[in-house]
Amino acid sequence: MQVRWLLLIALLGALLFTPPTWLPEPVRLRLAQWFGAGAYQTLPASVRSTGLDAEIPCPEDLLGWRDAHNIEGVDIRAARTCVADNPYVIAAVVRGTNNVSKATLIASGLTPDAVEKGRDLDGDGDPDEIHIRLEVVELNGGSAELANPVTQFSIAPGIQPGLWVFAPKTFGMATENFESPRARSILRLPSPVIRVEQGDRILITLENSHYMPHTLHFHGVDHPYLDADGEGNDGVPITSEIPVMPGTARTYNLTPRQSGTMFYHCHVQPHVHIMMGLQGLFVVEENRPDNWLQTLNIGAGQVRVPSRAVRESFDREYDLHYLDIDKELNEIVQRYNDPRLIIEQMHRRYDVTEARSDYFTLNGTSFPYTFRESLVIVKPDERIKLEDDNVRAGLDYAANVLGL
């Protein structure tokens, strides 16, 4: 009996931790969904013998995320890069997490209220009431129990600076599976691109799940200084409102009238919080009928469901988000677990006038990872639209839209 159990355990281990290419594809996909796409990929024999870790330059797309999809009636274009976003997330943010099936919602990892889409107010065939809920997530933070960072996100091989990012409201684990410390794909740098339509009624709720106070401030997006109840609606602490404290939430109201590429960020100690990663593109699209937008673009990069206005003039669209990182600032969250010490080091000891750029990221990664997901791949005579945002040394601005 003991021998049978040992054989069964050995078989299960072989299935989980070696690449069972002889298994039917549906079984391989199910294993990837349960245990993570890399849970049963082994290293090449030449590397295994040395005991060193190695990375696959272009990871196998076991779940078919790079392919073109039609999910919930949403036509999602194929991705031409090695690493692609979860197509179920794209379908859910296009239709609204309150309008998709439970299967799609579960596959996306989003909560039912992450991106709610409501009434068609002007009768043009698309929703005009959008409610987005964001959280604050720490990546590569320190742990009192582990020597290595937790909820790991690498910007390059072996490079894991501490980061804070806005993220859509999710459910379940923060890591890709119960054995891996790596962050799930939806929790990453940069903060998601928010894409809305002219004239839509936008509600954005910040549910502050972090240990620090935060706000949302919108650059270039016309919005009232106060909301209908006379409360602060501009995201600037002290002058317009009290910061959103840990464990609380605040909803911001916007009805953008001008199209273009804008910018949003946290305005609490902005010289620190912005450079920790609490920043993102805010794109206002031109109004068109039956215009179902990709409300969130996780990881920036290719917009796989471009708007009608973009399709009228361009073959493809890409979001490009640049950020530089100062190790002295970003590694503070890895040295301390006490928020009081982190606040003291960041807000009193850190001198932004002496900041230096140690790393540069494009859409959350640096070389060589930029080859995996940030390439802009074109054909001769194609017209490509680039939504471009650049933040350096704590100075933020709304970047121009480039049509090439």
The pLDDT score that the predictor gives to residue 88 is 98
Phi-psi region of 288 (alpha: psi -120 to 50; beta: other; left: phi over 0): beta
| pLDDT tens digits along 201-217 | 999 999 999 999 999 99
The pLDDT score that the predictor gives to residue 381 is 94
Phi-psi region of 310 (alpha: psi -120 to 50; beta: other; left: phi over 0): alpha
The pLDDT score that the predictor gives to residue 41 is 42
Q: What is the C-alpha to C-alpha distance for residues 104 and 36, in angstroms, rounded to an integer?
A: 18
DSSP string, 13-78: HHHHHS--TTS-HHHHHHHHHHH-TTTTPPPPHHHHTTT-----SS---TT-TTS-EEETTEEEPP
| pLDDT tens digits along 26-50 | 665 565 555 554 443 433 443 333 3
DSSP string, 182-238: BBPTTS-SSPPEEEEETT-EEEEEEE--SSS-B--EEES----SB-TTS-B-S--BT
Express the helix, strand and coil content of the chain in percent, nearest 5 each: 20, 25, 55
The pLDDT score that the predictor gives to residue 42 is 39
pTM of the model: 0.85
Other beta carbons within 10 angstroms of residue 158's beta carbon come to 8
- Domain spans, the chain: 2-48, 69-403
User: Helix, strand or coil for residue 347?
Assistant: helix
The pLDDT score that the predictor gives to residue 84 is 96
Extract the residue ranges of the chain whose pLDDT is less than 70: 1-54, 390-404
Q: How far is CA 62 from CA 67, 82, 395, in A?
A: 11, 12, 40
Q: How far is CA 192 from CA 135, 178, 188, 276, 294, in A?
A: 11, 25, 9, 14, 11
The pLDDT score that the predictor gives to residue 337 is 87
Q: What is the C-alpha to C-alpha distance for residues 213 and 283, in angstroms, rounded to an integer?
A: 25
Q: What is the C-alpha to C-alpha distance for residues 84 and 377, in angstroms, rounded to an integer?
A: 14
C-alpha R_g of the chain? 22
> What's 69-403's CATH class?
mainly beta
Q: What is the C-alpha to C-alpha distance for residues 189 and 354, in angstroms, rounded to an integer?
A: 24
